[in-house]
Amino acid sequence: MFGKSSTKKVRLLVLGTGGMAAAHAGNFAQDPRVEMVGTVDVVPGRAAEFAKTFGIAKHFTDLDAAIKWGQFDAAANVTPDSIHHPTTMKLLNARKHVFCEKPLAENFELANEMATTAEKNKLINMVNLTYRNVAGLHAARKIVADGELGDIRHVEASYRQSWLVGNHWGAWDKEDKWLWRLSEKHGSKGVLGDVGIHILDFTTFCVGMMPTSLQARLKTFHKAPDDKIGKYELDANDSAAMTVEFENGALGIIHASRFMTGYGNTLRLNVFGTKGALEIQNDHDLTTVRKCVGEDVHTQAWRDVVRTEAVETNYRKFITAVASGQNGDPSFRRAADLQKVLDACYVADKSGTVTL
């Protein structure tokens, strides 16, 4: 058993050893409270190679075999999106704590089942919404929570990518790692499913409110002859926009696109209230936060918000939660709530306003 005074290390299994798994392993390796004890990957040889790279003793090509072995306390689930649900359910039913990559599941029904099972079994459950690691987001949230902006009236947020325009991340029309993201038949839910959860969490975490209703439009643009490249049908959405109403009546516009030329990977958020406004922009490792409050509202003067304190990463928060027995945030329940909003966008695109 773990407790506040326990010196026992958290024994961690890494499930899925693709590209993102290296980030997980690198972060967990820096935490002295963690011992990575096993890896799992269905691709022959990949788990063994990953284990060798990170000095992990055990490796498996089957999750069932790892669970039967059982000598771990928690798992980092870094499998493809469509595999999150079945693998996480196996881990939860084996009474293992789980740190899962986003999105938690393909739809709210599956995400809700995962959250409910984790809660019922009293297991630590967290989702790696990476922008929670941005100190500026927490600074912006505090500005809102402290009432500096007054009552929130309007919100504008965007997740900007342009890899369908530039070659800064490679040739999208020639590489499988990009083409599958454009094809619903290959498991993609488009830009909304890929980064929509990030900008939605970024926004709602900052303002401390969730939408109560929304309208949405999804758009897939023509990108190749017959909208197909090799085995990939290019039918997933490239741009998504939603207009939302928040709990207090404020309106918001939240959108994402892979055609925002000039922006590689940028999140922008503006929050406008009765006493002031704030603006946050995160672009890779660079984050800026500005606010216009007090007498500055009369001259439209914006001032930088100075931040000196880093925040605890999701990786560390998960280990802290396992060690203490107190669940951390963002939890499975939080991810399921976000997924419910994203699911509603697909409905609203066809039928109009959806009440949440």
Q: How confident is the model at residue 3 (pLDDT cuts 50, 70, 90)?
A: low
Beta bridge partners of 34: 10
Which residue in 82, 85, 14 sits closest to 47, CA to CA?
14
- Calculate the average pLDDT of the chain: 95
Three-class secondary structure of residue 283 per DSSP = strand
Strand 97-101 relative to strand 125-128, pairing: parallel
Enter the tokens of residue 74: 């928690």
Segment 222-237 mean pLDDT: 97
Does residue 166 fall inside a structural domain? yes
Segment 166-172 mean pLDDT: 95
**pLDDT the model gives residue 182:** 97
Instruction: Identify the domain containing residue 226 by its residue range.
Output: 135-310
Tell me: do 68 and 119 sit in the same domain: yes
Segment 170-193 mean pLDDT: 94
Does residue 287 fall inside a structural domain? yes
How far is it, in rounded angstroms, from Cα 351 to Cα 213? 13
Could you tell me which residues come within 8 angstroms of residue 141 by beta carbon, excluding any fewer than 6 positions away? Answer: 205, 206, 208
DSSP 31: -
Tell me: do 82 and 150 sit in the same domain: no
How far is it, in rounded angstroms, from Cα 81 to Cα 63? 16
How far is it, in rounded angstroms, from Cα 188 to Cα 186? 6
Enter the tokens of residue 348: 């609203």
Does residue 114 fall inside a structural domain? yes
**pLDDT, tens digit (0-9, with 9 covering 90-100), for 14-61:** 999 988 999 999 999 999 999 999 999 999 999 999 999 999 999 999
Does residue 248 fall inside a structural domain? yes
In degrees and rounded to multiples of 5, residue 354 shows phi and psi of -120, 130
* Runs of H (alpha helix) within 234-305: none
Q: Is the pLDDT of residue 2 over 70?
A: no
Q: Is the pLDDT of residue 246 over 60?
A: yes
Q: Which of 81, 112, 129 is the endpoint of a domain?
A: 129
Does residue 278 fall inside a structural domain? yes
Tell me: do 252 and 269 sit in the same domain: yes
Tell me: do 34 and 101 sit in the same domain: yes
**pLDDT, tens digit (0-9, with 9 covering 90-100), for 248-265:** 999 999 999 999 999 999
| Cβ atoms of residues 28 and 95 within 8 Å | no
Number of domains in the chain: 2
Q: Is the pLDDT of residue 93 over 70?
A: yes
How far is it, in rounded angstroms, from Cα 62 to Cα 15? 10
Residues in the chain, how many?
Answer: 356
Could you tell me which residues come within 8 angstroms of residue 169 by beta carbon, excluding any fewer than 6 positions away? Answer: 163, 178, 264
Tell me: do 162 and 226 sit in the same domain: yes
